[in-house]
């Protein structure tokens, strides 16, 4: 019989692979003439519609939010989430898929930096080492060792770093709601308001008159379902079995698998120094996550030599 921890890791691994395929699918769609704006509009719209149907049939209680929190949800969804989606896919359109995803995954590094600069959090040795490794790794991933490669990637680098900043902002702001609501509720309303935002600032219902081919619709539907609702669901289930820190570390399989998938289907490759940079960035973030987990452990948990996990509801 599969243990609970094994179930948790399997769920998170499956989610990471789905996200990786979603990024590669987006890059393939961009090659057919679809823009990142179109992708994020369809993703937020169809993803929120799917969740709305599921909630209405089985989990109506997940619709409930406090009236006082609506303004906060609107900001988190229509501004922060909308920008997270756009910067992520725009970076993918300009960089190798693995490099773009890896740059966004530097979000926790920016969170740590923000905490030290604005919240006067003590810069421990582990954090300083993590920051140093991550910035050196980022420099290599961006191709800083090769002026020609750096020049070619400058627009993608901007959007990749913007994705990391937006992801960090979402983490900081979204954490407040994760203590009040189920993750599904937060995901639903952020997608809903992101969809509203993209129907205001981009051509409304563009996808209904764009004349997409069957293959394009298949790619867009994959990103909306198996690149959004399904992997987030698996990730949330995984967190119920294992600590969120361990789930986050396991999710770093995404840029690794994205690089492999993009190589198989798009012929994308990373140079050896870029791969070294990727290893440094992932190592830095894993080190930071492990340190965070250690800081969160209580004396009782340390005495037991184990970490308690939340059980699924």
Query: DSSP letters of 157-213?
Result: HHHHHHHHHHHHHHHHHHHHHHTTS-HHHHHHHHHHHHHHHHHHHS-TTHHHHS---
pLDDT score of 224: 95
pLDDT score of 311: 34
Q: Is residue 203 part of a domain?
A: yes
pLDDT score of 150: 65
Q: Is residue 310 part of a domain?
A: no
Q: Is residue 179 part of a domain?
A: yes
Task: Give which of 257, 246, 256 is closest to 286, Cα–Cα.
Answer: 246
| Residue owning tokens 């205001």 | 200
| Residue owning tokens 């399904």 | 230
pLDDT score of 244: 67
pTM, two decimal places: 0.84
Contacts 24+ apart (CB under 8 A), 122-126: 124/291, 126/287, 126/288, 126/291
- The total number of structural domains that make up the chain: 1
What DSSP designation does 31 have? T
pLDDT score of 63: 94
Please give the chain's pLDDT, 313 residues, in tens: 677 788 888 888 899 999 999 999 999 999 999 999 999 999 999 999 999 999 999 999 999 999 999 999 999 999 999 999 999 999 999 988 988 888 888 877 777 777 777 767 776 777 778 778 877 887 788 776 676 766 667 888 899 999 999 988 888 887 777 778 888 898 999 999 999 999 999 999 999 999 999 999 999 999 999 999 899 888 888 887 877 667 777 777 888 888 889 988 999 888 888 888 888 888 887 777 777 666 655 444 433 333 333 333 3
pLDDT score of 306: 37
CB 241 within 8 A of CB 5: yes
pLDDT score of 127: 72
Q: Is residue 311 part of a domain?
A: no
Q: Is residue 309 part of a domain?
A: no
Q: Is residue 276 part of a domain?
A: yes
pLDDT score of 269: 85
Radius of gyration in angstroms for the set of CA atoms belonging to the chain, rounded to a whole number = 19
Q: Quote the Cα angle for 226-50-25, to 5°.
A: 25
CB 84 within 8 A of CB 206: no
pLDDT score of 294: 63
Q: Is residue 96 part of a domain?
A: yes
pLDDT score of 208: 93
pLDDT score of 312: 35
pLDDT score of 281: 83
pLDDT score of 147: 66
Domain that residue 208 falls in: 4-304
Cα–Cα distance, 214 to 249 (Å, whole number): 36
Angle between helices 253-266 and 272-296 (to 10 degrees): 150
Cα–Cα distance, 293 to 124 (Å, whole number): 14
pLDDT score of 301: 41
Task: Give which of 296, 293, 291, 295 is closest to 131, Cα–Cα.
Answer: 291
pLDDT score of 1: 67
pLDDT score of 288: 72
């Amino acid at each position: 019989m599969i243990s609970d921890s094994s179930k948790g890791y399997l769920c998170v691994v499956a989610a990471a692979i789905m996200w990786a395929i979603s990024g590669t699918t987006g890059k393939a769609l961009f090659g057919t003439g679809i823009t990142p704006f179109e992708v994020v509009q369809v993703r937020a719209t169809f993803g929120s519609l799917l969740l709305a149907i599921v909630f209405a049939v089985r989990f109506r209680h997940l619709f409930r939010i406090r009236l006082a929190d609506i303004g906060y949800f609107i900001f988190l969804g229509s501004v922060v989430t909308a920008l997270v989606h756009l910067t992520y896919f725009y970076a993918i359109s300009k960089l190798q898929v693995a490099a773009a995803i890896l740059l966004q995954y530097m979000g926790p590094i920016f969170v740590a930096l923000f905490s030290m600069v604005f919240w006067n959090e003590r810069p421990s040795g582990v954090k300083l080492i993590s920051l140093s490794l991550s910035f050196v790794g980022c420099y290599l991933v961006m191709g800083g060792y090769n002026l020609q490669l750096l020049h070619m990637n400058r627009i993608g680098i901007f959007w990749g770093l913007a994705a990391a900043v937006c992801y960090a902002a979402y983490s900081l702001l979204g954490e407040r709601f994760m203590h009040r609501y189920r993750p599904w509720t937060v995901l639903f309303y952020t997608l809903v308001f992101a969809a509203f935002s993209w129907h205001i600032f981009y051509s409304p219902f563009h996808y209904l008159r764009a004349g997409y081919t069957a293959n394009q619709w298949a790619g867009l539907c994959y990103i909306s379902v198996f690149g959004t609702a399904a992997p987030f669901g698996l990730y949330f289930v995984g967190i119920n079995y294992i600590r969120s820190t361990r789930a986050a570390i396991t999710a770093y399989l995404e840029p690794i698998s994205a690089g492999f998938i993009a190589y198989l289907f798009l012929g994308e490759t990373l140079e050896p120094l870029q791969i070294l940079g990727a290893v440094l960035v992932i190592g830095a973030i894993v080190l930071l996550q492990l340190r965070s987990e250690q800081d969160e452990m209580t004396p009782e948990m340390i005495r037991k030599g184990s970490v308690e996990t939340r059980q699924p509801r």
